[in-house]
Structure 1
Amino acid sequence: MGPSQHGTLRHALKEWAVAVRALERGATALVVRKGGIREKAFAVPRRRFLLLPGYEHQRPELIKPRFRGLMEGLSGLDDSGPLRFTSFAEVRSAHEVSEPGSLAAIEPHHMWTPEYAESRFRWRPKKPLTVLLLRTYLLPEPVELPYREAYGGCKSWIELEEEVSVAGARPALDDEAFERLAGPALAVLQRLEPAPVGG
């Protein structure tokens, strides 16, 4: 067991539940973000963080057809119940996309439709998109925490009041399968400007 599967985490990234499911099932390793409405920009404060599934903004027509089956059972839910964690992620690579050509280059490697990715790119055009290449780890048991007012709203990151143990977590994909999935994306990403990642 590597160092990733020890210790506790307090920070969580809010991401569409369908995207969390895709990461957990090894269907993708990329997350493309531009920050919430209340944030000046999307910053990455930690290299490791829990994945918090969000339900309210996700729509099947905004993801590529081959990923839409992952939406099964995820519609009609809202974000007001207990927080439920089943995985955490570790940033393997983080890059900024500030040119349309770079957006086109990563298109085969993420789950969003080209139209939706382009709309995210054009929103706040002076700010780059951040692309994270993530290695996802599955917690041995789901962890539920009570919902708190401070966790709500359009923000990307939350800091939990409780620590969540990640002891015993296992990689969603073994090393070889992860390299097969991530390698082609990494080859493209390495040509882009790196994005800063916290500790």
Structure 2
Amino acid sequence: MDSQGSLRHALKEWAVAVKALERGETALVVRKGGIREKAFAVPKTRFLFFGGYEHQKPEQLKPLYHDLLASIPQRKDDGPVLFTSFAEVEAAHEISEPDELDALDPYHIWTPEYAESRLKWRPKKPLTVLVLRVHLLEEPVELPYSPSYGGCKSWIELEESVSTAGSRPALDDEAFQGLARPALEVLRGIRPAPVGP
């Protein structure tokens, strides 16, 4: 991958989910969008992770990830923003049926109950499942917080770009394929979700 360049688009996601993605413990993000959004859409194929801290709840995570959550330093969501990685979309699919979600349970970090609650919220809208290839920035980048980053929304356009020069994949090709393949098998035949450029 050409690691030169920079990114300004970021996906808001719990810091514990970002850390699990960075450690190669999952490749999946399951989303339905924020309260301010009519639907969840994927406007870019590459984006930074904008970690959120204040709403993380251990009871919504599988027990396997409780220690990981406890290890994450507490930061304020309206304080300086720390970027450590970005993602490339390997696959994106829309699911609407509980059995489709159940089949993906081994591959994401959420409890079945929480994943199901995401599916049931705004039931006319599908749940988007993203399979992501994560890349670690050469060094963490901290940027000032802007009020425009606040609110219950999925995507942030940063006021400053973050360089991706010197980044490296969190997992090598073989390890990533081994991690993603089982979920991709489940998703085969399920309607793809549109992804921007």
TMscore range, shorter length: over 0.9
1:158 maps to what in 2? Answer: 156
Give the match's secondary structure for 1:87.
Answer: strand
1:198/1:67 Cα in 2 relative to 1: closer, same or farther (>3 Å)?
same
Which of 44, 47, 50 aligns to 2:48? It is 50
Q: Percent identity?
A: 69
TM-score by length of 1: 0.96
TM-score, normalising length from structure 2? 0.97
Match of 1:189 among 171, 187, 192: 187
- Does residue 125 of the first structure (1) align with residue 140 of the second (2)? no
Partner of 1:64: 62
Summarize deviations over 1:39-79 as a string: whole Å, max 9, x none: 00000000000011101211011011112111123365320
Map 1:1-199 onto structure 2 (within 5 A).
2-3=1-2, 5-74=3-72, 76-199=74-197
- Once the two structures are superposed, residues 121-153 of structure 1 have per-residue CA deviations (whole angstroms, 9 ceiling, x without a partner) of 000000000000000000010011110000011
Root-mean-square deviation (CA), in Å? 1.0
Farther off after superposition, 121-130 or 67-76: 67-76
Supply the AA of the counterpart residue of 2:84: T
SS of 1:80's equivalent? coil
Count, aligned residues: 197
Taking the aligned partners of 1:174 and 1:103, their CA distance within structure 2 comes to 27
User: Which stretch has the larger CA shift, 13-22 or 53-62?
Assistant: 53-62
Q: Specify whether residues 162 and 76 from structure 1 end up closer, same or farther in structure 2 by C-alpha distance, changes over 3 A only.
A: closer
Separation in 2 of the partners of 1:179 and 1:23?
14
1:193 is paired with a residue whose SS is: coil
Q: Which amino acid aligns with 1:163?
A: S
Deviation of the 1:99 alpha carbon: 1.0
